[in-house]
Each structure stands twice: as C-alpha cells, then as structure tokens.
Chains A and B, each alone.
Chain A
C-alpha cells in the first residue's frame, strides 16, 4: 500500500462525466414502510392521559410542570405519563416508549431549545404520530429550522409545531413571570394540535 496513486482516476476533465450522488437516501424508512401520517386527533382532553417526553434542556422541566397544571385545571386532563430522557438528543428507551404507548392518549414533546434536541424532540412527536398517538412538539423560534429539517427527513413536511418566541430564551431557565407568559401564550396552541377542531 502506498500513498502515491493519483486521483481522480480516468477522468477527462472536459468531456461528459457521470457523477454518483454522494448523499444517503432514506433507505431505512422505506424498509420500515411506516404510515407517515398524523394520528387521529382526540375529541376532548377531558379525562384523558397526556404523556410528556422531556429532554431536560434549559426550561423543559418547569415548562412541563406548568403545562401539567394548566392542562389539568383548564382542560380536565386526568393523568400524565412523564418520560425524562437520559440525553437531550436520543430517543426514549424501548421501555419508555412502551409505557407511553400503553397509557397515553396524546403526547407533548419538549423542549426544542438546542439544535440536536429540537430535531430529536420533533422526531419523538412524529414517531408517536406514526404509532397512532396525537402529539405536539414545542420549539423555540430560533430552532424552528432544526425541527423543520427533521420533519423533512421524516417525510412529514407539513407537520405543525408550537413555537415559543423571544423574549423567552432557548437556553435559559425562565423566571416565573416569563414562564407564566409563555404558558398562557402556547397552551391554546398545544391543545389545538391535540384535539380535532371539528369536534372542539
């Protein structure tokens, strides 16, 4: 083995070239033949169980807690399943998925506060949809392109997310006053993503 052979091999620089696309196709998704569609929405949240898939980033914990209180008080949600992922950018474990699939009627995934966590959180929501559970992911406005990239890779281009705008910061733990403002703003949007508008 030597390091002296020339590259490119056999290329005539001025004549027609045949070029191979160097990008990966999404072969695995095609193999799985998943139903790439949203799950049916619920008629109501009252009496239902909501799962939270939490990546632990920045304000994720306090946002989850505040949403739980609001969903129970204002929309009559009966119970919650809470998954705290071991890492910000990985899927829940098989056991955690099983728990959610067994108990949850709908799900919220959060928090899109960094690059890889926002895209993985979007993916969590999409995989729930593929398994028949209506879901919504909450993303900071600065990370919307990341979530968009994931929904594009997942062939779910039109899939909607709930966006938290500035002045809330993606990477900070919010003060109580700001948290209350955020929850007030996004709660109706979260509910709207989980409930069938024609019924609601």
Chain B
C-alpha cells in the first residue's frame, strides 16, 4: 500500500538536535524528547492497520477538529511506539474520541484529568505489557509508549496544550503516561473486557479519564467483608461530579492488588460478589458521621461528615481490575472525571464501525 502524508505540513530539519528544537518550539512535546515523525515511519504505522492517512478516527465538535489516522500515527511514532503498538494506540484514540469519552471536557478541565489505558486479552503478552510488579510504570516500553501516545494525541491532535486549552491547575504525573494490563493470568476473576461483553481471547482497550487515585494499605485484611468495608469507606471520601450528559455512565475504578485478591479469592469472592457487596456501601445515603476517614471538600458546604460516593448510578459502574505486584498489600480507588470508561477491541485492520462499550 502506498500512502501519502501530504495532508499535514512538513518541515525539513538538519538532524535530530534540530528536530528536538523544532518540537519544543512548536510545543509538540510533553517535555521529554520525541522520536522524529518522518513520512517513512508514519507510512509503516499506517500500513500496519491498512489505513489511509486522511481517514477520520474521531472528532472534537466543540473545537471543529477532526483527528486523522496520520495524526494518530505521527504521535504514536513521537511517543516511541513500535509499529506493533499502532493498533492499540488507534483503538485507544477511538475510545477517547467517542462521544462518551467527552474529549473537550476532560482535556480542558482545571482538574487535570489523565487518560488511563487498561489492556486486556492476549495482546498484553505479545506486546510485553506489565500488569504485575510496576504495573503503573515506568519500566515497560509498551506501557510507557502506548499511554504516552494517547496523551500526545490529546496534546497535538485534540489541541489541549497546557497554558492554552488545557487548564489543569496542578496537572498530574499520570498524564505523561498511564497504561497497564489486567493481571488475567494471576487472577481467577473474570477480566474487565469479558465483564463488558467481549470474548476472553479478544484484545481490548479500555480508556478512562480520571483524577484522584487513592491507595489503601491493608496488611491484615481479616475477612473479605471487613476489608471491603474499609475500602468502601476510603472510596466515599469524595463524590463523582454530577453530569447529565453521561447518563448512567459515571464510574469508579477499583484496582485490587494481589495481596487483597488472594484474601477475596480464597474466600470464593468473585468480582460480581465484590461489586454486590461494596456498591450499597458506596451509594448509601449521607449517614456516616462517625468513622469518616477524610473529606475531599467536594461535598456540599457544611456537610463535611457526610461523605458518600455520589454519582455512581449502578453497581456495574464499579469497575474492578486485577493488577499490581505481590507486595505491598495495596489496592487503589481511582475516580472518573466527566467521561465514561470506554472499551473497544484492538483490531489488526481498521474497521469503520467498531464496538464501543458503553455505546452513546
């Protein structure tokens, strides 16, 4: 397949140093060095998914922007991806740019939302995606570059440059890259993608825009109920922001570590059991005056003792992922920000009508 990359402006630079200077001058970089996006490499990336450069991958209507395959490929190259990562980056971009990904909102917010990329299926092994020790990075090329590629697409494709459309007050180190796999091999639990209607052997990406990440250290888990009660109390520290556009698609993500999975799995608890137990605790009315562990400040004024995870409308929106190393005994509560968690298949050849869960 012969493809042209004449749609985008081209620059001639004298070597890598000159390219680096150009990239910083043009604000293409997240602050780290980039791999030069040359037409030759971009063409290889596009060929790997059988895409013409002008194929529109997604749009941001509030900004009149169309993100083309060529832009996706150029940013994947710059992030340091190999050509084998391109289908995953493409799927992540499509998920983020789908309507419930709410791209304008989550990339212009003062809250500095990061885009988490969660991978399921055999592709984790093929690409060397880490899901155990060091899952949240750094250390793996696949984790680092796939997550970085999506963030560079947000920056250069969507147009959210810090100081311009990106208004993040503090931003978030997860915005350099935040990609990990679910530890399907070391868990008896149903993987996230299977829970969302995909086949076990399908390769699936889930993209979630998130803000706060709270870790719970729990050495003596005791019984599953007492562990999950404590985890739920932590999760009730703050609400999920109200949003009529998302419908019933606001979510909270629980990443359950190996230590805590062992406690739960030994007792025969499935993800569905965990969800059924914690959801009523998360959604309970504001009656927990005693024992509240923190107050985020996002609860109504004068209601500081009334922590509740308002905003998760149904138990299915408590997403549970198995990841992390054997130690320490940590699990994480990660809060969504104004977007749904979108799952979509990673396919070797581009298909115009792709399955998105949830659909708009």
Contacts and interface: CB of A to CB of B under 8 A. Distances in A.
Contacts of A91: 61-62
Contacts of A5: 82-84
B65 interface: yes
Interface of B: 5, 7-16, 18-19, 22, 26, 28, 35-42, 44, 59, 61-68, 70-71, 74-75, 77-78, 80-85, 102, 104-111, 126-128, 141-142, 152, 156-159, 163-168, 243-246, 338, 348
Interface of A: 1-11, 13-29, 32, 85-91, 114-116, 118-120, 123, 143, 145-146, 149-150, 152-154
Nearest to B145: A7
Nearest to B37: A20
Nearest to B123: A1
B12 A17 contact: yes
B65 A24 contact: yes
Contacts of B156: 22-24
Contacts of A150: 62-63, 165
Contact of A24 (B37, B71, B141): B71
A120 B62 contact: yes
B158 A19 contact: no
18 contacts: A3-B141, A7-B77, A8-B36, A10-B38, A14-B15, A15-B15, A20-B42, A21-B10, A22-B71, A22-B157, A25-B7, A86-B243, A89-B108, A89-B338, A119-B165, A123-B62, A143-B167, A153-B63
Contact of A17 (B9, B38, B164, B243): B38
Contacts of A8: 35-36, 38, 41, 77
A22 B37 contact: yes
B44 A9 contact: yes
A3 B158 contact: no
A4 B152 CA distance: 23
